[in-house]
Structure 1
Amino acid sequence: HARQPTLSRGILANSYIEESAESWRTTSAVYDKEHFQCTVEQRGGREEEAMAESQLVHPPLFTYISMLALLTLVPPFVILMWYTNVHADGSVLQTFNYLKENGLQGLIDIWPRPTAIAGKIIICYALFEATLQLLLPGKRVEGPISPTGHRPVYKANGMAAYTVTLITYLCLWWFGIFNPTIVYDHLGEILSTLNFGSLIFCLFLYIKGHVAPSSTDHGSSGNIIVDYYWGMELYPRIGKHFDIKVFTNCRFGMISWGLLPITYCIKQYEEYGSLSDSMLIHTIITLVYVTKFFWWEAGYWNTMDIAHDRAGFYICWGCLVFLPCMYTSPGMYLVKHPVNLGPQLAISILVAGILCVYINYDCDRQRQEFRRTNGKALVWGKAPSKIVASYTTTTGETKTSLLLTSGWWGLSRHFHYVPEILASFFWSVPALFNHFIPYFYVIYLTGLLLDRAKRDDERCKSKYGKYWKKYCEKGYKSVLNSKSAEEVLANFAKWEPRHGKFRYRHPWAQYLDIGGIARDCAYRIHALNVYLNYETQIEQEIRTKIQEPCMKVCTECGHVLKELALAMKTMTYPLTIIVHIDNAKIAAENLKSLLHTNSSWEGIIFSDIIPMATVASLLIETVYYTIKMVESFDQLAALARFKKTNRFAPVRIRTNSWKTKRVMPDQPSTESVHHDVAAE
């Protein structure tokens, strides 16, 4: 929410409620029916070995189906993307109607046939980049240690290869030796040839992984589809020095990302006699991003693409075929759809795009410098906050890693993905909004990075165990300590121009109030979580006495927080929150009565009761703050005019015996009726 001055959707308070709900999902698990203690699930034994990068887990049926779907559907999708941009006026609807009328035969008809000129362009480009990769000088750089203890060594000459390629390409055009528009004119045949050639190349990698692996970081899942899709080797090489993943990902794929926008610029200039400012802005931001990549290439070798994902269809076909087509699609669209933005809008987009690229670079540079200096580099002018995490490789060797928890990396675990997504938006938005196709890459990248963040979290959780849990808690604690930042944001938002139905009457103060109460609640949850992780645990006899009400309090408060989070997101009244509030109150009263019943504690040493009393006290306080949060939310809902959507929601019936039941509104009752918030 720090990126948005407008808080009218309730993001400010919702962030705390979601954090608290997530913590409750963890805390409620501690009240196990037999143990009544906090247990942190760690991957161990055979499961840990299966999660190691050197051994692939045999996936379930739906994973096979999804892999087969990608293997069969994505290659033709690349052709459809090219066809839509070049021959269908950039209209997805036009392409869809064509396929609807002609079916599979229509796809066959528009699929370009591989040609000799396409093959010559691909081979010349590939040989040129391979030669530069082998011959250009570069600094010796070591990659991360693999799960088997292997450390790859690279030659960092990517920036030199990128610069030489761009200069050579432009010189060939300037002196009339080669016209880059040929690439655009034969782009369909090039993509078609790359499609078939890359599939054969991935088959070569599959066979090589079985017959002649380059290092100890290889293995098979026992399934051909999985091995072909994910790959067999982590660091495949031809000979001693030619790294295949560096070639496919960096030299062939990323350099083509810099060359193709230049090609599109030249083609548009030849077509119209001028270059539109939209194409110019797109090309500049893209080239800045690609240049940033090669400037930071040594850091890329520590990312998931190189250090975790094996060389198979997913990585290699993606970089050889998918990247040159999909990543450059906004420029491909702009060739035939020039847009004049005007100086003011063009400069604004350019500055915003370059700023996002810089922030993305600075995030990666910050972490890389932190690791290079073994945690001694200053971060934003201060000594860095860090966690020293140890882990065990598959060979049984214990290693340590430093996890940075300050600077950009103190904001969130994957903050660097945010400016990357925004940068892709800014080099796509010059196309404006006449068609959807220029924004496909932005949507694709968002999904890709969300999936990558999830996979990275799972991998780090398996690798670092308790240290990763501690690392994740750093982000939770930063939320607890952000009161002043929220107040600044709310005060800044008050000065926004009037807009929406509230004009100048946005309920900023109420958002802050909910955030403050949620923070107080979260403090109790955090204290409870820390307390239950101590080595000293409550005795079994005491646990059984208070087990049931404690479990009930955790469950009901967790439901309340999750419903509040959803209600804040959707600006609607929660449906059944009053049910859970009543149940939490009853559980808290039962817990109090157990503490006040002296006969229940006869024969138990007083010092043994103290831990139990601490847990119970924290739970009762949490119920209190949860109720306060609901009351504050009710005031916000009235001020912000939240929607009352549960027209047919059940109402509450309370009996004198504290037992509750639910009836529908049309059911008559002579008892005291307590409507929920939405019904009222």
Structure 2
Amino acid sequence: MSELNPRTKHREFNGVAGALGITVGLPLVLELFQLVCNPAYSTKGLHIDVGAIVGQLPSNLSETCELMFDPTVWKVYLAWFFGLVALDQILPGTQLQGTELRDGTKLNYTINGVPMSLLLVTLLVARLFQVQDYQLPELQFIYDHQLQLVFTTIIFSFILAIFVYAISFIPLRNANGRGTKERILSVNGNTGNAFYDWFIGRELNPRIGSWDIKLFCELRPGMLLWFLVNLSCLHQQYHQLGYVTDSLVLVNLLQAIYLFDGVLNEAGCLSMIDVTTDGFGFMLSFGDLAWVPWSYSLQARYLAIPGNEVNLGWWRCCAVLLLQVVGFYIFRAANQQKADFKNGKLNRLKSITTPTGSKLLADGWWAKSQHINYMGDWLIGWSWCLPTGFQTPLTYFYVVYFASLLIHRQVRDDMKCRAKYGKAWDEYTKLVPYKIIPYLY
């Protein structure tokens, strides 16, 4: 094994067993969400018509294949995915470099999520002026083909993960065109176990030419599809009831703010653990392409079902909106403070110098907890779920799932920092004992 790509010894998610459980279990969760969000299966509260669900399931292999490989849906999704790839390559943007890699190089990135998102919104608005009674066939297609689209995104995420795993074994050509060089593998995905490495991601930054597959999937096809799925629910409710409820409008608004805020701060992704440390395998492929659009849109899809309408009234809407504002403030203010400290603007703040020469901020927001920004992010999640009322715990799945995700990230970060900073990290944890929520965890 080369010095550039040392063998991975630690395995996340309890190794192969955990990876297998996630690979099988999470796609089934998405299918369950889709079944219980189908208007045909009375989903008021927890009273799900299991008999109706079973009756609607494919009865043989042929029907199953027709559902999973609907040619029209596949054509639409492939046009969506590769259309965005084309736009990613041709739209102008800011040129930035990523963090330094183990071979001393830095990758170049074109940050153009804003023009791409503006183009999508402009096209949608333009379409509204071309149709009668706000009837958009594109949004209706998404709503009417949710189950087929869920299958399509899941299968495509498997295919993409297989593709990037396969190319990770092909050496790269040198920039001068002479000879080849090793690809840089993920520190987590070089165990030698084919299944685990495929799941966690073997190569750190799989690319085809200038197209960075990982960064593209992080904020493009899945996030923007989530936006369209939410709009399709709003579209469906308007044409079914003749009006839209304030709860569904609020969910659309709050989640749109969140996802477009991510696009506006796309450059920040270059320093995220997903980009700097994790490889791109099934975990990220499935998460980006299937999990985000079909689990994050759960609240909107639930509220769009006839009989599940929730009318909040102005004061409840304001309270939920205030919760998102508070969450955003904590999230952004904390991250900005850390960025300013790294850039030397806040040297007056208390910090701990580590053996590597870097400093651990232990003041301001970062004296309250080690990951105070995570708490802000979690509060934002609550603002998405509360508009659904208390008819069912199903719509609160996101805050439970996201809490477990944030805790897992915090544990991983703690292990990495403890190994990297040693006694300095012990000193830091004494000064800042709380992990995420001050005085609680």
TM-score normalised per structure 1: 0.56
1:216 match: 184
Matched residue of 1:310: which SS?
coil
CA drift of 1:147 comes to 4.6
8 Å CA contact 1:173–1:180 kept in 2: the answer is no
Distance 1:185 1:307 in 2: 38
Cα 1:226–1:340 shift into 2, 3 Å: same
Matched residue of 1:193: which SS?
helix
302-311 vs 159-168, which moves further = 159-168
Within a 5 Å distance, the mapping from 1:471-486 to structure 2 comes to 471-476=428-433
CA drift of 1:280 comes to 1.0
* One-letter identity of the residue aligned with 1:144: T
8 Å CA contact 2:368–2:434 kept in 1: the answer is no
Distance 1:161 1:130 in 2: 11
1:451 match: 408
8 Å CA contact 1:265–1:280 kept in 2: the answer is yes
1:89 match: 42
Within a 5 Å distance, the mapping from 1:19-30 to structure 2 comes to none
The CA RMSD over aligned residues, in Å, is 3.3
Distance 2:358 2:214 in 1: 24
Matched residue of 2:371: which SS?
coil
Residues 1:427 and 2:384 aligned together: yes
Matched residue of 1:179: which SS?
helix
Residues 1:407 and 2:375 aligned together: no
8 Å CA contact 2:171–2:183 kept in 1: the answer is no
CA drift of 1:257 comes to 2.8
Residues 1:153 and 2:124 aligned together: no
Distance 1:106 1:416 in 2: 48
* One-letter identity of the residue aligned with 1:238: I
Q: Deviations over 1:109-158 (max 9, x none)?
A: 88943312211221222123212222222222232234554433322222
CA drift of 1:84 comes to 0.8
Residues 1:349 and 2:304 aligned together: no
2:18 match: 66
8 Å CA contact 1:228–1:312 kept in 2: the answer is yes
Q: Deviations over 1:139-183 (max 9, x none)?
A: 222322345544333222222222222222332344237531211
Matched residue of 1:80: which SS?
helix
Matched residue of 2:68: which SS?
coil
Cα 1:386–1:131 shift into 2, 3 Å: farther
Matched residue of 2:279: which SS?
coil
Matched residue of 2:325: which SS?
helix
1:233 match: 203
1:367 to 338, 361, 365: 338
2:8 match: 56
2:297 to 324, 328, 352: 328
8 Å CA contact 1:148–1:217 kept in 2: the answer is no
Distance 2:6 2:129 in 1: 49
1:144 match: 99
Distance 2:70 2:53 in 1: 28
Cα 1:170–1:354 shift into 2, 3 Å: farther
Cα 1:438–1:64 shift into 2, 3 Å: same
Matched residue of 1:75: which SS?
helix
Distance 2:350 2:11 in 1: 38
Matched residue of 1:210: which SS?
coil
CA drift of 1:473 comes to 2.6
1:385 to 350, 371, 385: 350
CA drift of 1:454 comes to 0.6
2:236 to 267, 271, 284: 267
Cα 1:170–1:96 shift into 2, 3 Å: same
2:28 to 76, 85, 95: 76
1:315 match: 284
* One-letter identity of the residue aligned with 2:29: F
148-157 vs 327-336, which moves further = 148-157
Distance 2:207 2:15 in 1: 28
The count of corresponding residues between Structure 1 and Structure 2 is 418
172-181 vs 187-196, which moves further = 172-181
Return the index of the structure with the highest Cα Rg: 1
Distance 1:148 1:466 in 2: 28
Cα 1:62–1:244 shift into 2, 3 Å: closer
Distance 1:424 1:316 in 2: 22
Q: Deviations over 1:536-577 (max 9, x none)?
A: xxxxxxxxxxxxxxxxxxxxxxxxxxxxx9xxx9xxxxxxxx
Structure 2: runs of 5 or more not aligned: 173-181
Residues 1:198 and 2:168 aligned together: no
1:40 match: none
Distance 2:221 2:12 in 1: 34
1:123 to 78, 96, 108: 78
8 Å CA contact 1:357–1:419 kept in 2: the answer is yes
Distance 1:237 1:96 in 2: 46
Cα 1:180–1:364 shift into 2, 3 Å: same
Q: Deviations over 1:455-474 (max 9, x none)?
A: 11111222222332232232
* One-letter identity of the residue aligned with 1:469: D
Distance 2:157 2:144 in 1: 21
Structure 1: runs of 5 or more not aligned: 1-48, 392-399, 479-484, 487-564, 570-680
* One-letter identity of the residue aligned with 1:79: E
Cα 1:121–1:105 shift into 2, 3 Å: closer
Distance 2:13 2:236 in 1: 47
